[in-house]
Amino acid sequence: MESLDSRSPSTGGDLTRAEPSGGRADLAGPGWGRWRGGWMARQCLEGRHGAWALVEDGCTTARWPSLGEAIEVLWRERKIRDQAPWAVGWLGYQACAELGGDLPARPDTEGAPSGILLLEPTTTDSQTVLGAGSTAKGAVLRTSLSEEQFMKGVQSIRGHIADGTVYQVNLCRRFTVNRWDGGLRSLFDVASAGSAVPDYLSAFSWEGVSPGELVCASMELLVSRRHDRMETKPIKGTRPRGATAGEDRRLIRQLETDPKERAELAMIVDLERNDLGRIARTGSVVVEDPGRVRSWERIHHRVARVTASVWAGMPWQDIVAVMAPGGSVTGCPKRSAMSMIAGLEPVGRGPFTGALGVIAGNGDLELALPIRTAWTSDGRLEMAAGCGIVWESDPLAEEVESRLKIGNWLELVESS
């Protein structure tokens, strides 16, 4: 637990908070393709307290007990039926687990949103999404798993791997600033700095029952669907960027050749291949790339690519139910890994490691896996990160890696 000094809210930048509306989004990363840019909507589907509500101009106009029931009604009654977005937003880990057939997942914290979908949004030139913000006086940075607890969790997973219960488990931790004033513009600015921005960098704000903001700096494609073609690009294996060009090349070679990192990605590629096979045309699943190193501003990862063909009329809900939560943030076998996660992680994951992006009116999808995510909730700043744990994992190295993945945000709040 670390005390944080107060400072005045940050200034500057393009993402200033707009006047109240249903919700706004900025899909800023290059991975968003034709949907890149600003979006706004008066209507939002908001999940909270175990129910889903349709909110328009701050008023709840309809309510459903489950996400599936809400989607069934709203999708049937949609006006948009072409490639334009029907919804832009995110579904949390627990919501995806529910869609997947009640997969084991710890419930979201009371009061925290389970998902926000901006319905039938329109484009906007003004990318006014996020407000300025900073730590408040007396703020404290806490983590859901201390260094010792995280390393014990790694050892526990290794024990279950040894007895054959699982092959890999993704262990995550939450970092919370208990007093946060304002929005997340400063976190977005940090994530968007440099030339190699995250592919699925995005920002969201919403009014609704409990206003909030979210920043996602993900590089990972959960699933893309264009008519009858699908693909996923799982990520496993991590190294920091080097201080020099020579050190950077050394770290890339190390990541390319490390047996532990290669095995970690191979397991998840196999899981994703099997998941796609549940909904794809027989024989259409292809591992296009088993893994290669890609580099971003602060980090190197190994990225694979798997494609498949699917019946063009398959409901998008069925695809999300199979693909989310993604294998790279659960482990394998998926149900066993998720059961272990529910026991080891003391709080629900919230938006982290759910699904985030665009659902088009014709059922096309572009959904990122929110693996670098921060959000506001009831005057708090929440951030999360995790690591894939295999038999060869070193507990201390995994603890360090979990901080590395959101190191720029931790540095920001700790220095504020």
**Is the separation of the CB atoms in 385 and 216 below 8 Å?**
no
What is the model's pLDDT at position 64?
Answer: 97
Count: domains in the chain: 1
- Cis peptide bond upstream of 351, omega within 30: no
- Confidence (pLDDT) at 109: 78
Q: Which residues contact 320 (CB under 8 A, 6 or more apart)?
A: 91, 96, 99, 223, 355, 365, 367
DSSP secondary structure letters along 100-162: TTS---PPPPTTS-SEEEEES-EEES-------EEEPTT-EEEESS-HHHHHHHHHHHHHHHH
Amino acid 313: pLDDT: 87
Taking only the tens of pLDDT, the chain with its 416 residues reads 444 543 333 333 344 444 445 899 999 999 999 999 999 999 999 998 779 999 988 789 999 999 999 999 999 999 999 999 999 999 999 999 999 988 999 988 777 789 999 999 999 976 668 999 999 988 999 999 999 999 999 999 999 999 999 999 999 999 999 999 999 999 999 999 888 899 999 999 998 667 899 999 999 999 999 999 999 999 999 999 999 999 999 999 999 999 999 999 999 999 999 999 999 999 999 999 999 999 998 899 999 999 999 998 899 999 999 999 999 999 999 999 999 999 999 999 999 999 999 999 999 999 999 999 999 988 999 999 999 999 999 999 999 999 999 999 999 998 87
Q: DSSP class of residue 35? A: G
Q: Which helix (H) or strand (E) holds 339?
A: helix 334-344
Neighbours of 125 (CB within 10 A): 7
Nearest-angstrom CA–CA distance, 242 and 370: 25
What range does the domain containing 164 cover? 2-415
Dist CA 403 CA 408 (whole Å): 9
CATH number, domain of 62, equals 3.60.120.10
Residue-level pLDDT at 58: 79
DSSP 372: S
One-letter identity of residue 136: A
Question: Could you tell me the two tokens for 264?
Answer: 């970690």
Q: Residue type at 303?
A: V
What's the pLDDT at 20? 43
Distance between CA atoms of residues 111 and 202, nearest Å: 23
Total-model pTM: 0.92
**DSSP string over 239-278:** EEPPSSHHHHHHHHHHHHH-HHHHHHHHHHHHHHHHHHHT
